[in-house]
Amino acid sequence: MTIKRAATMILAIAYTVISYAVPVFTTKRLATIASYTGLDLHSATGINLENDSTWKYNGRSLRVCTNTFGEISHIGYKMFSKSAFDSHNNCLLPFFIERYALELDLKIDERDIPTRMAVDKVFCGQGNIDMLTKVTPQTPFSIEEIERRMYRIKWDIAGKTLSLTIPADCQLIIGADAIELENIFERNIKNMPRTANYDVVEKLLSGKAYHYKDQLIIKGEEYLSSMIRNDLYIEEKEGKKRVMIDKRKPVQTVTNILITGVFDKEIPMTMTLNRYGYSCSQTDITLQQFINLCYFDECKLYVGIKTHNKEYITATVFALNNKLAYNHVLSLKFPLELLNGSNNKIEATAYAYIPLQNVNEKFFTQSLEHIKINTKK
């Protein structure tokens, strides 16, 4: 058998296996939608794929997408153009609306449309919800965002306005309850790279740096408290910036590591995930995997230093997603011997997808003990 023929046979077998692979869904709701619509999604396999021409429901084209892990991450009516998704690339709202319109038609939870919308706190301000069936990728629309609170989307449908108000609720928009979101968090974190993502690091280093005393700093922002910030302490050689890692400056170095994941090796971490319903689960990962997941989830990272002695720094990392109004939070104990090359583990407790709507800022800041690192000009 020639090498060429053998290669052809291998590709044919691989294609057959892929074609008949059992679809994996990001959420249970997507699996339910596929079941209710009777879609055969065995061909919807691959990474970061989009198909908006194969399947239909109620005479309307469906958009089916897969994510980085090859999971089916979206099923909904085709209601937006590709350019609309590109211009709102950090916002899941168009995906939500496509899926939600399909869900309303399917009546998955056996509620009528007005009851379902009332439960979800989705309100029709102008027009009526029946007009949603007339929305196409060519329909002009605008999105107004009230940060961490709500979205308002308006369509111009043949001179008439349809307006929907949608809460910035991660459970609603992603389509999963608190328990499932925690499962997704734990599943995804294990699939993250175990070392720093230098594409992210380069973006972080692109900010303007300024000198303060003997330090070069990329000034960030504060979150909830002046002691919770995302400043970066850097070095510059031959005009190139790099993250400062210096055991003589442990507070600044640990802050840098917690924001970027930059270190000369993997940093082992035992993470206890505090779950809904007062349960918990424990997993061994690297600190970099947690950081990479936060950036994968389009979060901004902020660090609050609690305590500092010769052996440990205790700190809290806040991963803020403004678009979906939630926090991932990691409270940790960082052994300073790690900076000397030891294999000590970080001990950490995580909270995933904490909604911001009903959270008082004191919930995060009341236990912080201030260590002043002046980063103001």
Q: Dump pLDDT digits (tens) for 73-114.
A: 999 999 999 888 877 766 789 999 999 999 999 998 889 999
β-bridge mates for residue 349, sequence order = 272, 331
Per-residue pLDDT band for 321 (boundaries 50, 70, 90) equals very high
Stretch 176-198: mean pLDDT: 96
* Beta carbons within 8 Å of 8's beta carbon, 6+ residues apart: none
Q: Any idea which residue has 């900010």 for tokens? A: 207
- What does the buried/exposed string (b/e) look like for 23-48 if buried means 16 or more CB atoms within 10 Å of the residue's CB? bbbbbebbbbbbeebebebeebbeee
Q: Dump pLDDT digits (tens) for 132-181.
A: 999 999 999 999 998 888 999 999 999 999 999 999 999 999 999 999 99
Q: What is the DSSP letter of 368?
A: P
Stretch 18-26: mean pLDDT: 74
Residue 221: phi, psi to the nearest 5?
A: -130, 165
pLDDT at residue 10 greater than cutoff 50: no
Please tell me whether residue 42 adopts helix, strand or coil conformation. Answer: coil
* Beta carbons within 8 Å of 240's beta carbon, 6+ residues apart: none
- Residue 155: count of CB within 10 angstroms of its CB: 22
Residue, of 5 and 304, whose pLDDT is higher: 304
| Bridge pairing between strands 215-218 and 209-212 | antiparallel
The closest alpha carbon to 194, from 299, 285, 330, 295, belongs to: 285
The closest alpha carbon to 65, from 22, 107, 86, 95, belongs to: 95
Stretch 287-302: mean pLDDT: 97
Is residue 153 within 8 A of residue 129, CB to CB? The reply is: no
Question: Model's pTM, two decimal places?
Answer: 0.88
The span from the CA of 292 to the CA of 192, in Å, is 6
pLDDT of residue 107: 93
The span from the CA of 158 to the CA of 332, in Å, is 55
Per-residue pLDDT band for 22 (boundaries 50, 70, 90) equals confident
Please tell me whether residue 100 adopts helix, strand or coil conformation. Answer: helix
Cα angle at 327 between 124 and 270, to 5 degrees? 145
* Beta carbons within 8 Å of 372's beta carbon, 6+ residues apart: none
Stretch 120-134: mean pLDDT: 96
Residue, of 30 and 224, whose pLDDT is higher: 30
